Structure 1
Amino acid sequence: MLERDTSPVFTEEHRLFRDAVRRFIEREFLPRIAEFDEAGCVARNFWRKAGEAGLLCPGVPEAYGGPGLDFTFNAVLNEEITYAGMSDSITLQTDITSPYLVRYGSEELKQKWLPSMVSGEVISAIAMTEPGAGSDLQGVQTVARRDGDDFVITGNKTYITNGQNADIVLTVCKTNPAEGAKGTSIILVEADRPGFTRGKNLDKIGQWMSDTSELFYDEVRVPATNLIGEADRGFVYLVSDLPQERLSISITAQSAAQRAYDEAIAFTRDRKAFGRRVIDFQNTRFVLADMKAKLQVGWRHVDWMIAQHASGKLSAEEAAAGKLWHTETQWEICDAALQLHGGAGYMNEYPIARFWRDARVRRIYGGTSEIMKELVGRAL
């Protein structure tokens, strides 16, 4: 169990919320992990139950059916569901897609979609990555052509989280291709629009329960009122919101690293070799001590990032540096924890196998570690 009550960014209200999240996880998630993994997605009835429990989109204002809380409550939710072993799906809706609608969506779009996102009746995705455009969003080739009162969208997206389940997709596209990044927009596309299709649920190394898809837009016609914010301002919106996305990834990386360490402690205390507990060997203690030191530093840094973001002060470079450090550290800790399990760590029946394989992608999505270094380096 995470020990976060001493964190300076959390209050008694957060503690009560955390208790509610934990009870929900124990009741509704832990018994269904194998089911979700096998299905390759989190069941829609789980989304609705999470909505009924008040655990989706804490930042959505009361006017649109949400509780109107700040990001500190998102942080609590992210910590707990990640520590429990959930892949990134709910965090996408809570931390990324709903904020775009809250901040930039028209009143019509907010009223139409946010209440259902809060209730879990509507699942969302954001489609940025393309076969030829990953971390470099300036390379997006999907085009939205204005035709009277509509946009007509053509292009392909790939590696889209919630791609199979999504009812709505915030689609990053070029509305003015001649202007490059300055001609980028974000347009909401309903999944039942003619011309919109999904590929198969992609077969991934890890994060099995997080549905990930290719999406195809073949002359998909949507009303111009589906535009998020202003035309040709999409790249500005994306850059402005990336600090929260990267903070979210940092939190999940830290929480998963903590769980890996806790699994290693429990295993090495119980496992014996040559007549001694594995934890009684000096090498084991040194490895665990190194992990604990990094976790201690990591939690203090996460607290600092959360506080900075809650006060509107977390810069893009700080968020990039945090994402870089926490995801790389998560990988180190998960790999070391698996090693301490010996052969058992390679067996999927042990939780450490999940946390190890799920860790790998966090150094890639949300911007690769190499891109994070580039962003930090540019600001020097």
Structure 2
Amino acid sequence: MSDFPLFELSEEHQAIREAVRAVCDAKVAPYAAAVDEEVRYPQEAADALLAADFHAPHVPEEYGGAGADALATCLVIEEVARACVSSSLIPAVNKLGSLPVMLAGSEELKKRYLSKLAAGEGGFSYCLSEPDAGSDAGGMKTRAVRDGDDWVLNGVKRWITNAEVSEYYTVMAVTDAEKGTRGGITAFVVEKSDEGVSFGAKEKKLGIKGSPTREVYLDNVRIPADRMIGEEGEGFSIAMRTLDHTRVTIAAQAVGVAQGALDYALGYAKERRQFGKPISSFQGMEFLLADMGMKVEAARQLTYAAAGRSERGDDDLTFFGASAKCFASDVAMEVTTNAVQVLGGYGYTSDYPVERMMRDAKITQIYEGTNQVQRIVMARQLLAGVQSEL
């Protein structure tokens, strides 16, 4: 049996949840609607999260970070997403972008970049996808060519979260086309200030409008060889190992937005009166709310179980990361849609937050691997016999 808390949070984890919720209630939630409507970066949230050391809680203490474990990091992301999904992408993407450095970077690379991230000197984004390489990440065309003591990168990365806002980028590039994903892709740290780095226009998205998504252009970007993450040819393996861990954070994000929608729907159902009584007293509504609550809690428990495996690096993390992300995001889409239904016509208007939550929830079924890909991953893990019992 594991000693990692799966079914009851420790006092420390409960305190983290309460602290993050207090910050979000005061300095994130009040701006969520404006951030969405104005399609602007949630600077108020960014400032508040940085001040509370919640902007990149996963960074180890030895590099100046909070040293939060995988579950604590999930709690931060869950609580921020409950208030504003766009804002939750600050801690989520900072982990996604910097985790390759944590997993495979040299000690010098860790000290240089994790310390800067912890100090708030710049966020970290992740550059894997390309215009013709989405689910098939191995089809990337970005190239890195060795030139003396440097590497020169050329290519285009697409769907890059917080692009241009972030100062640092983990970039996957082909270094040996003949080897493909088995030794032909290498990971690098690219800085926003590097000559030849530029950005496309912000994507016009259905949701998470406060989190800028842009293309990143690499035009003869010359970087020193010591910015390579791990060894040459390890990039694809590093990318996949990273996603095993960070899919758990997307699950936490999905749980958060689902909980936010459920909270609002419950309050509304108790106050809204029709036929002389609260709509919460009608059995049809009770059943709807019950299903919403049941599924949110099931998603939460699966997410926390996956967080435990992420912290320990268990052999079945790949299965649990994929299943938590897939299940929680499907639940988020269902629960936020049902929250709109609870509010009826009001839920369909931007005067109430549930329509924003529904739009924001959709992306959790798509990014960091579509849920169709997650089901492929889970099936292969099951067939290989790597899933273990709780």
- TM-score, length basis structure 1: 0.93
Q: 1:24-63 residue pairs with structure 2 within 5 A?
A: 24-37=23-36, 38-43=38-43, 46-63=45-62
Secondary structure, counterpart of 1:181 in structure 2:
coil
Contact map agreement 1:155 1:216 (CA 8 A) in 2: yes
* Distance across 1 between alignment mates of 2:92 and 2:31: 20
Secondary structure, counterpart of 1:201 in structure 2:
coil
* Distance across 1 between alignment mates of 2:166 and 2:94: 14
* Distance across 2 between alignment mates of 1:259 and 1:47: 20
* Per-residue Cα deviation, 1:283-312 (whole angstroms, up to 9, x for no partner): 111211221222232232223222232232
Deviates more, 1:51-60 or 1:221-230: 51-60
Match for residue 72 of structure 1?
A: 71
* Per-residue Cα deviation, 1:212-260 (whole angstroms, up to 9, x for no partner): 1111111111111111111110111112222211111111111211221
Q: 1:135-284 residue pairs with structure 2 within 5 A?
A: 135-182=135-182, 183-284=184-285
Task: Give 1:22 shift.
Answer: 2.3
Secondary structure, counterpart of 1:152 in structure 2:
strand
Task: Give 1:42 shift.
Answer: 2.7
Contact map agreement 2:116 2:122 (CA 8 A) in 1: yes
Task: Give 1:102 shift.
Answer: 1.9
Letter in 1 for 2:249: S
* Distance across 2 between alignment mates of 1:324 and 1:23: 29
Q: Percent identity?
A: 32
Match for residue 326 of structure 1?
A: 328
Q: 1:298-313 residue pairs with structure 2 within 5 A?
A: 298-313=299-314
2:129 aligned with 1:129: yes
* Distance across 2 between alignment mates of 1:53 and 1:91: 12
* Distance across 2 between alignment mates of 1:315 and 1:192: 36
Match for residue 388 of structure 2?
A: none
Distance 1:89 1:141, change over 3 A: same
* Distance across 2 between alignment mates of 1:294 and 1:27: 28
User: Once superposed, what is the RMSD of the aligned Cα atoms?
Assistant: 1.9
Letter in 1 for 2:261: A
1:378 to 377, 380, 384: 380
* Distance across 1 between alignment mates of 2:189 and 2:246: 19
Task: Give 1:35 shift.
Answer: 4.6
Match for residue 89 of structure 1?
A: 89
Secondary structure, counterpart of 2:195 in structure 1:
coil
Distance 1:373 1:179, change over 3 A: same
Match for residue 3 of structure 1?
A: none
Contact map agreement 2:306 2:317 (CA 8 A) in 1: no
Contact map agreement 2:6 2:308 (CA 8 A) in 1: no
* Distance across 1 between alignment mates of 2:164 and 2:287: 44
Match for residue 367 of structure 2?
A: 365
Contact map agreement 1:347 1:353 (CA 8 A) in 2: yes
Contact map agreement 1:9 1:307 (CA 8 A) in 2: no
Task: Give 1:65 shift.
Answer: 0.8
Match for residue 117 of structure 1?
A: 117
Secondary structure, counterpart of 1:66 in structure 2:
coil
Task: Give 1:346 shift.
Answer: 1.2
Letter in 2 for 1:159: W
Task: Give 1:197 shift.
Answer: 0.6
* Per-residue Cα deviation, 1:169-188 (whole angstroms, up to 9, x for no partner): 11111111121112111111
Deviates more, 1:132-141 or 1:312-321: 312-321
* Distance across 2 between alignment mates of 1:238 and 1:9: 32
Contact map agreement 1:52 1:119 (CA 8 A) in 2: no
Deviates more, 1:34-43 or 1:280-289: 34-43
* Distance across 1 between alignment mates of 2:12 and 2:317: 27
Distance 1:35 1:332, change over 3 A: closer
Secondary structure, counterpart of 2:216 in structure 1:
strand
* Distance across 2 between alignment mates of 1:332 and 1:49: 30
Unaligned runs of 5+ in 1: 1-5
Match for residue 354 of structure 1?
A: 356
- TM-score, length basis structure 2: 0.90
Aligned residues: 374
* Distance across 2 between alignment mates of 1:8 and 1:342: 35
Secondary structure, counterpart of 2:193 in structure 1:
coil
Task: Give 1:34 shift.
Answer: 4.2
Task: Give 1:25 shift.
Answer: 1.9
Contact map agreement 1:151 1:222 (CA 8 A) in 2: yes
Letter in 2 for 1:375: V
